[in-house]
Chains A and B, each alone.
Chain A
Amino acid sequence: MRRIWILGAAAAVLSGTAWLVAQETTRPTFRVKVDMVVLNFNVTDNKGRFVNGLKPSDFRILEDGIVQKVNTFAEGNKTPLQIQEDGSAKPLVVNAEDRAKGPAVDTFVGTNVFVLFDTSNYMYRGFVYASDAIADFIRGLDRADSVAVYTFSRNLSRAAGLAKEHGEAIIGLRKAVAGDDAALYNALLLTLRDASKVPGRKVVIVFSNGPDNASMVAPDDVRAVAEDEGIPIYVISTNDASKDPVSSSVFKRISTRTGGQVYFAKTWQKQVEAFESIRESLGNSYTVTYYPQQNPNDGFRKISVEIVGDIAKKYRVRARPGYRPQSGF
Chain B
Amino acid sequence: MRKVLVLFLTFVIGGCFGQTLPEQVRKLEAEGQVSDARALVTRAVQDKPDDPAAIAALAEFLDRHGDAACRTYYEKLLTLGGSAQKSAAARRLVLLDLMAGEEAAAQKHLAAYRAAGGPGDWKIPEKTSGPIGPQTSVVEIPGPMRSFSRMAALSPDLSPDDALGALARNVVTNGYQAASSSEALDQTEYLKLVVKYLSQARELTKLAGEARAIKVPACESPETGELLKVLGYRMRGGCGAEVVLETVNASRAFLTIDSGFPLGELEQALRTNRPFSYDYAPTKVTVLYTPDYWVTGKDKEKGDFLDTFLSDPSLCRLYLALSKLDPHTAEEMRKAIPVQRIKAFAHVLDFFGAMLTLKDGKVAVPGGQRSAGVWAELAGAPPDQGVAFLEKLISRDDGWVASYYDSLIRIQGPALDYLTEPNRMKKHYTALRGRITSPGPARPVFRSNTELMLLTTRLRMDPNGKPHIPGGLDVWKKLFVEHPHGKYDGKLTKAAAGWKDGDELIEALFALCRKAVENEPLKMFMAFTDLDRRRATPLAPATVDRLIKDYRVYGAQYPIFAEASAVSDKTILQYLDAAQGVTQIRDQALRADTAGTFQGLVAMWQVFVRQNSIPTAEAEAALAELITPFGKLRSNRELFDAGRGGVATLLKFTKSAANANPHDRMLDLLAGNSGSPDLEAHQQLVREMIRIYEIQRLPSLKLLFDFADHLDALAKGEKMNAALVNRLASRLNDIQVPRSAMTTIEKNSMAFGYWTERHIDQQRKLNLRAMVEKAGADPEKLKDVKATLAPVLRDSLVGLAYVHYAPPGAQILQTNPIFIRSHDFLGLQGSVQTWRQTEVFGTGWPSSAGGRLVGSLANLAYALAEAEQNFLIPTREQALIWGDLVPQMIVMAKVPRFWNVKPVQVQWVGLHMRQGESLLSEAMVDAKLREQVMQSLDRRAPPARVRRIDTLLAGGRFKEALDQTTPAELFLLSTDLNSSRAGKDPINDAIARLAENHRQEVSVEAISRAFGTPKPTLANSYHPELLNLRTFPTLMGYSSRIMAESWESNLLYYAALANQLGMHPSQLNVAVPEWTQKTVESIFATHLEDWPALLRSLRLVGENARQQARQGAPAGALE
What's the minimum C-beta distance from B1083 to chain A, rounded to whole angstroms?
12
1/0 contact string of B1012-1038 vs chain A (CB within 8 Å): 000000000000000000000000000
B846 touches A250 (CB 8 A): yes
- Mark the stretch among B45-53, B568-576, B866-874 that contacts chain A: B866-874
- List the B side residues contacting A127 at CB < 8 Å: 254, 257
1/0 contact string of A152-178 vs chain B (CB within 8 Å): 011111110000000100111111111
Among B2, B232, B264, B740, which residue has its beta carbon within 8 angstroms of that of A174? B264
Q: Given contacts A30-B691, A157-B878, A215-B846, are A221 and B739 in contact (CB under 8 A)?
A: yes
Flag whether B580 is at the interface (Cβ < 8 A).
no
B811 touches A327 (CB 8 A): no
Q: Count how many chain B residues have C-beta atoms less than 8 Å from C-beta atoms of the other chain.
A: 64
Flag whether A181 is at the interface (Cβ < 8 A).
yes
Flag whether A206 is at the interface (Cβ < 8 A).
no
Flag whether A95 is at the interface (Cβ < 8 A).
no
B878 touches A180 (CB 8 A): yes
B687 touches A28 (CB 8 A): yes
B815 touches A221 (CB 8 A): yes
A218 touches B872 (CB 8 A): no
Flag whether B760 is at the interface (Cβ < 8 A).
no
Of residues 301 to 321 in B, which have CB atoms within 8 Å of A's CB atoms? Answer: none
Bound: A28/B868 CA distance, A: 27
Which one of A177, A189, A249 has the greatest number of beta carbons of chain B within 10 Å?
Answer: A177
A128 touches B257 (CB 8 A): yes
Flag whether A85 is at the interface (Cβ < 8 A).
no
B871 touches A190 (CB 8 A): yes
Flag whether A135 is at the interface (Cβ < 8 A).
yes
Flag whether B173 is at the interface (Cβ < 8 A).
no
- List the A side residues contacting B257 at CB < 8 Å: 127-128, 131, 174-176, 178
Flag whether A21 is at the interface (Cβ < 8 A).
yes
Q: Given contacts A129-B247, A132-B246, A170-B264, are A250 and B694 in contact (CB under 8 A)?
A: no
Bound: A224/B253 CA distance, A: 38
Bound: A3/B686 CA distance, A: 41
Report the contact-size class of chain A (Cβ under 8 Å from the partner): 35 or more
Bound: A144/B741 CA distance, A: 38
B268 touches A171 (CB 8 A): yes
Flag whether A225 is at the interface (Cβ < 8 A).
yes
Flag whether B849 is at the interface (Cβ < 8 A).
yes
Q: Given contacts A9-B9, A24-B683, are A136 and B244 in contact (CB under 8 A)?
A: yes
Flag whether B263 is at the interface (Cβ < 8 A).
yes
B850 touches A155 (CB 8 A): no
Of residues 761 to 820 in B, which have CB atoms within 8 Å of A's CB atoms? Answer: 811-812, 815-817
A216 touches B850 (CB 8 A): yes
- List the B side residues contacting A183 at CB < 8 Å: 844, 870
A155 touches B870 (CB 8 A): yes
1/0 contact string of A85-129 vs chain B (CB within 8 Å): 000000000000000000000000000000000000000010111
1/0 contact string of A215-254 vs chain B (CB within 8 Å): 1111111101100000000000000000000110110010
Nearest A residue (CB) for B232: A128
- List the B side residues contacting A276 at CB < 8 Å: none
Which one of B254, B262, B264 has the greatest number of beta carbons of chain A within 10 Å?
Answer: B264
Which one of A155, A178, A217 has the greatest number of beta carbons of chain B within 10 Å?
Answer: A217
Chain B interface mostly? helix
- List the A side residues contacting B1090 at CB < 8 Å: none
Flag whether B133 is at the interface (Cβ < 8 A).
no
What's the minimum C-beta distance from B930 to chain A, rounded to whole angstroms?
42
Bound: A184/B870 CA distance, A: 11
Among B690, B739, B812, B878, which residue has its beta carbon within 8 angstroms of that of A177? B878
- List the B side residues contacting A129 at CB < 8 Å: 247, 250
Of residues 162 to 212 in A, which have CB atoms within 8 Å of B's CB atoms? Answer: 167, 170-186, 189-190, 193, 212
What's the minimum C-beta distance from A238 to chain B, rounded to whole angstroms?
14
A216 touches B870 (CB 8 A): yes
- List the B side residues contacting A182 at CB < 8 Å: 844
Nearest B residue (CB) for A299: B734
B873 touches A13 (CB 8 A): no
Flag whether B489 is at the interface (Cβ < 8 A).
no
B253 touches A128 (CB 8 A): yes
- List the A side residues contacting B871 at CB < 8 Å: 186, 189-190, 216
Q: Given contacts A128-B247, A167-B268, A186-B871, are A181 and B844 in contact (CB under 8 A)?
A: yes
- List the A side residues contacting B960 at CB < 8 Å: none
B267 touches A178 (CB 8 A): no
Nearest A residue (CB) for B742: A246
Q: Given contacts A167-B264, A222-B815, are A246 and B683 in contact (CB under 8 A)?
A: no
1/0 contact string of B254-266 vs chain A (CB within 8 Å): 1001101011110
Of residues 104 to 154 in B, which have CB atoms within 8 Å of A's CB atoms? Answer: 150
Among B6, B16, B694, B846, which residue has its beta carbon within 8 angstroms of that of A212? B846
Flag whether B664 is at the interface (Cβ < 8 A).
yes
A185 touches B846 (CB 8 A): yes
Among B739, B817, B843, which residue has its beta carbon within 8 angstroms of that of A216? B843
Bound: A221/B831 CA distance, A: 29
Bound: A181/B870 CA distance, A: 11
- List the A side residues contacting B832 at CB < 8 Å: none
- List the B side residues contacting A295 at CB < 8 Å: none
1/0 contact string of A19-35 vs chain B (CB within 8 Å): 00100110110100000
1/0 contact string of B671-683 vs chain A (CB within 8 Å): 0000000011001
Among A13, A21, A132, A214, which residue has its beta carbon within 8 angstroms of that of B5? A13
Nearest B residue (CB) for A173: B264
Flag whether B1111 is at the interface (Cβ < 8 A).
no
Bound: A31/B160 CA distance, A: 56
1/0 contact string of B30-64 vs chain A (CB within 8 Å): 00000000000000000000000000000000000
What's the minimum C-beta distance from B631 to chain A, rounded to whole angstroms?
36
Among A125, A158, A249, which residue has its beta carbon within 8 angstroms of that of B741? A249
What's the minimum C-beta distance from B149 to chain A, rounded to whole angstroms?
11
B812 touches A174 (CB 8 A): no
Flag whether B431 is at the interface (Cβ < 8 A).
no
Bound: A329/B868 CA distance, A: 24
- List the A side residues contacting B5 at CB < 8 Å: 9, 13
What's the minimum C-beta distance from A75 to chain B, rounded to whole angstroms?
28
Flag whether B13 is at the interface (Cβ < 8 A).
yes
- List the B side residues contacting A217 at CB < 8 Å: 811-812, 815-816, 850-851
Flag whether B847 is at the interface (Cβ < 8 A).
yes
Bound: A217/B738 CA distance, A: 12
Q: Given contacts A186-B870, A221-B850, A327-B694, are A171 and B264 in contact (CB under 8 A)?
A: yes
B687 touches A189 (CB 8 A): no
- List the A side residues contacting B873 at CB < 8 Å: 155-158, 190
What's the minimum C-beta distance from A178 to chain B, rounded to whole angstroms?
5
- List the A side residues contacting B246 at CB < 8 Å: 132
Flag whether B183 is at the interface (Cβ < 8 A).
no
Q: Given contacts A212-B846, A214-B870, are A28 and B690 in contact (CB under 8 A)?
A: yes
Nearest B residue (CB) for A25: B679
Among B680, B846, B874, which residue has its beta carbon within 8 angstroms of that of A246? B846
Flag whether A10 is at the interface (Cβ < 8 A).
yes
Bound: A48/B687 CA distance, A: 49
- List the A side residues contacting B878 at CB < 8 Å: 153, 155, 157, 177, 180
Which one of A154, A216, A327 has the greatest number of beta carbons of chain B within 10 Å?
Answer: A216
- List the A side residues contacting B848 at CB < 8 Å: 218
Bound: A30/B690 CA distance, A: 8
Flag whether B211 is at the interface (Cβ < 8 A).
no
Flag whether B360 is at the interface (Cβ < 8 A).
no
What's the minimum C-beta distance from B865 to chain A, rounded to whole angstroms?
12
Q: Given contact pairs A171-B268, A174-B257, A253-B741, enumerate 7 new A-B contacts (beta carbons under 8 Å).
A: A27-B686, A157-B873, A158-B873, A172-B264, A212-B846, A219-B846, A221-B816
20 inter-chain pairs at a CB distance below 8 angstroms, sorted by A residue, are A3-B16, A9-B5, A25-B679, A27-B664, A153-B878, A172-B264, A174-B257, A175-B877, A176-B877, A177-B150, A178-B258, A179-B258, A180-B878, A186-B871, A190-B811, A216-B840, A216-B867, A217-B811, A220-B741, A221-B817
Across the A-B interface, the 7 shortest Cβ-Cβ residue pairs: A171-B264, A220-B739, A218-B850, A213-B844, A128-B253, A174-B264, A216-B851
